[in-house]
């Protein structure tokens, strides 16, 4: 039954991100935390998001701004390499607490996490280091894109591509540190299939959803789930 819920969570996550460009990763990691042991939560989330973002980037591949992607990728490599040796020292409960607080802060005060949009390499380094610990930094990465004058498909496509590279680096780092995705093969297969369905649905919904009402509901859902994570960490 948990496998069914996780696959459904992947569909919802990919649909949200495919339609709005951001938000699905946060929803997914909070939902996964209800079914997955904390010790493997962020590594498993990395592999699922690698599959999901690869699909989104492929669908929007004609709209990717590669001039931004390449320096961001270079910075991401540095961030992952520097942070990887430190991840194992993060206490499980501390990670849950930090994740819950991060979700609430990112939802209601995203300006606190803004980075300079004109430094893609620095943005890549900082956000990739954070994603090794927090897992879902898609909204943070979105906030650093110089997207004011970008069409919506360029925003969604470019964000999908940089997140594909970032989650790919993170997944490789966790694999190197001992996490074996084969042990979670059935879960990854089910969630990968769910991501494919969600990406197709999200692409069709892009530009058709009234964002104001949808984002308001999403904010409150994220907040409630984050509060549950915080409560689990403190009890």
Contacts of 180 (CB under 8 A, 6+ apart): none
| CA pair distance 72, 166, nearest whole angstrom | 9
pLDDT tens for residues 146-174? 776 788 888 889 999 999 999 899 899 88
Spans of all domains in the chain: 2-234
Residue with the two structure tokens 């569909």? 11
Total-model pTM: 0.78
More confident residue, 70 or 143: 70
| CA pair distance 11, 52, nearest whole angstrom | 9
More confident residue, 208 or 74: 74
Contacts of 188 (CB under 8 A, 6+ apart): 44, 47, 48, 51, 181
Greatest Cα-to-Cα distance within the chain, rounded to the nearest angstrom: 48
């Amino acid at each position: 039954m948990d496998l069914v819920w996780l696959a459904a969570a992947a569909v919802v996550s990919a649909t949200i991100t495919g339609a709005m460009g951001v938000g699905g990763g946060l929803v997914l990691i909070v939902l996964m935390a209800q079914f997955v042991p904390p010790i493997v939560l962020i590594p498993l989330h990395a592999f699922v998001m690698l599959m999901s973002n690869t699909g989104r980037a492929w669908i929007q591949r004609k709209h990717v701004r590669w001039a931004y992607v390449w320096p961001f990728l270079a910075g991401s490599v540095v961030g992952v390499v520097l942070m990887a040796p430190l991840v194992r020292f993060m206490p499980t409960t501390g990670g849950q607490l930090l994740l819950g607080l991060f979700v609430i802060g990112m939802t209601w005060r995203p300006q606190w996490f803004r980075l300079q949009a004109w430094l893609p390499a620095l943005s890549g380094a900082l956000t990739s280091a954070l994603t090794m610990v927090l897992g879902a930094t898609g909204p943070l990465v979105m906030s650093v894109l110089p997207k004011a004058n970008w069409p919506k498909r360029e925003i969604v496509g470019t964000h999908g591509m940089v997140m594909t590279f970032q989650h790919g680096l993170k997944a490789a780092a966790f694999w190197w540190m001992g996490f074996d995705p084969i042990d979670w093969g059935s879960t990854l297969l089910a969630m990968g299939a769910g991501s494919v369905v969600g990406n197709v649905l999200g692409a069709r919904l892009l530009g058709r959803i009234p964002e104001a009402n949808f984002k308001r509901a999403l904010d409150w859902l994220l907040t409630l789930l984050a509060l549950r994570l915080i409560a689990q960490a403190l009890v």
